[in-house]
Amino acid sequence: MARAASVAMALAVARRRTVSMLGEAMKLPAANQIDRRLIGGSLRFGVGWGIAGFCPGPGLVGMGLFEWLERRGRT
């Protein structure tokens, strides 16, 4: 829960800024409509997390690591 709150606070701060820390213009998404792609991606993310038990991004990295360890004979 603390991570979600920190992300929300970071987004609130980012919305107020006009320039990034590197001096570039801030580019935040302007879309605010729920469409078919958003629903599909959300479902995929949630189902993947529910089945595997962890976030899909690190899961993909973990699968690559497991394959690498398997090739080296360490599993």
CA-to-CA dists, residue 59 to 19, 30, 44, 52, angstroms: 33, 29, 13, 8
pLDDT at residue number 39: 93
pLDDT at residue number 29: 76
pLDDT at residue number 40: 93
Q: What pTM was estimated for this model as a whole?
A: 0.43
Please write the tens of the pLDDT for every residue from 16-64.
Answer: 888 877 888 877 778 788 999 989 989 988 887 888 777 777 777 777 7
pLDDT at residue number 71: 63
pLDDT at residue number 67: 63
